Amino acid sequence: MLLQNVGIDPEPVIRNYCGKVVVVNNAGSFVITDSRPIISIVSRDEFDNYLLLRALDEGVDYVVDRVMRISYDEDSVKIVGVNDTYIGKYVIASDGANSVIAKALGNDIRANTAIAFMTIAHGNYFDDACIIDMTRIKWGYSWVFPRGDGEYDVGMGSIHWGNYRTQLINYVNKLGLREGVVLGHPIPIKHRKILTTKRIVLTGDAGGFADPTTGEGIFYAMYTGALAALALRKSGGPQDFSRNYLNLVDPLIRNLSLAYYVSLGTYGIDNLIMGRLGMSAFSIDGTGNLIKNVMSGRVWYSQVIKSMVKSSLIKGLTVIMRKTLT
Ligand SMILES: Cc1cc2nc3c(=O)[nH]c(=O)nc-3n(C[C@H](O)[C@H](O)[C@H](O)COP(=O)(O)OP(=O)(O)OC[C@H]3O[C@@H](n4cnc5c(N)ncnc54)[C@H](O)[C@@H]3O)c2cc1C
């Protein structure tokens, strides 16, 4: 939806869609279906290259280099790369989870990060459903997303750091699939303490804008990138640029803070504690709502959170609170 709003049709690079998602937790499993695609699957190199080509169509200059250092003063920003030095008025930084620029601003880039491992596996498994399984890893989930042609994006992510490489390979083999190269990478799940200076703003993983519940960050990277461009367009000077951006990202920061509590509730209280007793605090419809609507970027957490908790649990808690207070 976000891409369509900026005039980009992602269709040519979508490898596969899932209109059916199987969710497994310690209390059981259920299937979520929708007539619209719930999850769209792309290959990152194809998707990123496609976006680059659209940007080139719009006339942007593209330079390949690696940022080594960044410095700034009242009038400009200087970036020292491996090949060259670049001087400009403003920088929209989008150099990912290990951002050199976020670090240069004074952030601890190791703080508040989840970790995920993935591989492209081959073989024969379900081709028409995506699987989200919370029983394979603590404080997170594993996924199986079919890419078509016998290829599957299989991964595991957790807010609890660890080396899940072997666990992932065992999982892939258990599904009857053959693993490919296994890649692991941090995912920042809380916005950085210092998000801007007068002439620099952090977006995407550089800014710590991934979702702590789902681990999704592509939508938020594109969204914060668009907000940074908007902030720049609206600004009359450096002070405005930073202020505009902070104002524009503020609702997103609130949304992702809510997602942080949802992740603690989902993976901690619900899956690890209640799930072991065969119970879940979350309603199937509400969880379906989260996967169908929040993951696809249609709504935000505040709009689904109430529907996620079972009404029987809310009634029970209300009764207990009333009794405690009288
Ligand atoms: C295993 C795994 C699976 C994931 N699956 C999903 C998913 O299914 N859906 C989803 O939405 N999100 C997913 N995520 C999260 C998602 O990948 C990130 O949140 C998202 O890519 C962030 O986008 P970004 O543009 O900010 O950073 P990136 O995509 O990491 O891009 C950063 C770019 O900056 C470049 N760069 C880095 N350092 C420098 C430097 N010093 N100089 C110049 N360039 C530099 C990098 O080469 C890269 O091209 C997953 C993450 C992991 C680890």
Quick one: pLDDT at residue 322?
67
Both structure tokens of 231: 């902030």
Instruction: Determine the pLDDT at residue 302.
Output: 81
- DSSP of 5-70, one letter per residue? HTT---GGGEEEEESEEEEEETTEEEEEE-SS-SEEEE-HHHHHHHHHHHHHHTT-------EEEE
CA of 35 to the centre of ligand 1 (A): 30
**Residue 318 pLDDT:** 61
Among 113, 91, 107, 97, which residue's Cα sits nearest to residue 245? 91
CB of 245 within 8 A of CB of 206?
A: no
Tell how far the Cα of 282 is from the centroid of ligand 1, in angstroms: 31
Average pLDDT, the chain: 90
pLDDT value, residue 128:
87
pLDDT tens digits for 244-273? 999 999 999 999 999 998 888 888 877 777
Q: Where are the beta strands (DSSP E) in the chain?
A: 14-18, 20-25, 28-33, 39-42, 67-72, 77-81, 85-88, 91-93, 113-122, 130-133, 140-148, 151-158, 183-188, 200-202
* pLDDT of residue 185 exceeding 90: yes
Nearest CA to ligand 1 atom 10: 216
Tell me which CATH code domain 2-23+35-253 carries.
3.50.50.60
**Residues 291, 32: Cα–Cα separation, whole Å:** 8
Q: How far is the CA of 133 from the centre of ligand 1 (A)?
A: 23
Instruction: List pLDDT tens digits, range 128-154.
Output: 899 999 889 999 999 999 999 999 999
Q: Which of 119, 187, 256 to mutate to test the pocket of ligand 1 (most atoms within 8 A of CB)?
A: 187
Choose one of 163, 192, 216, 223 to mutate for the ligand 1 pocket test, by most ligand atoms within 8 angstroms of C-beta: 216
- For ligand 1, the distance from its centroid to the CA atom of residue 37, given in whole angstroms, is 23
- Give the residue extent of every domain in the chain: 2-23+35-253, 283-326
Mutational test site, ligand 1, from 91, 205, 214, 227, max ligand atoms within 8 Å of CB: 205
- Cα 190 to chain centroid distance, Å, stands at 11
> In the numeric block, which tokens belong to residue 107?
């952030």
CA of 166 to the centre of ligand 1 (A): 23
Ligand 1 centre and the CA of 170: distance in Å? 25
Q: At 133, give phi and psi (nearest 5°).
A: -125, 115
Give 110 Cα–ligand 1 centroid separation in angstroms.
Answer: 15
**Mean pLDDT value of segment 186-192:** 96
pLDDT (average), residues 21-47 = 90
Q: Grade residue 2 by pLDDT with cuts at 50, 70 and 90.
A: confident
Between β-strands 91-93 and 200-202, what pairing exists: parallel, antiparallel or unpaired? parallel
Alpha carbon nearest to ligand 1 atom 33, residue? 95
How far is the centre of ligand 1, averaged over its atoms, from the C-alpha of 208 (Å)? 11
| Ligand 1 pocket list (CB less than 6 A) | 66-67, 94-96, 100, 116-118, 155, 185, 187, 204-206, 210, 215-219, 221
Q: Identify the residue whose C-alpha is closest to ligand 1 atom 12.
A: 216
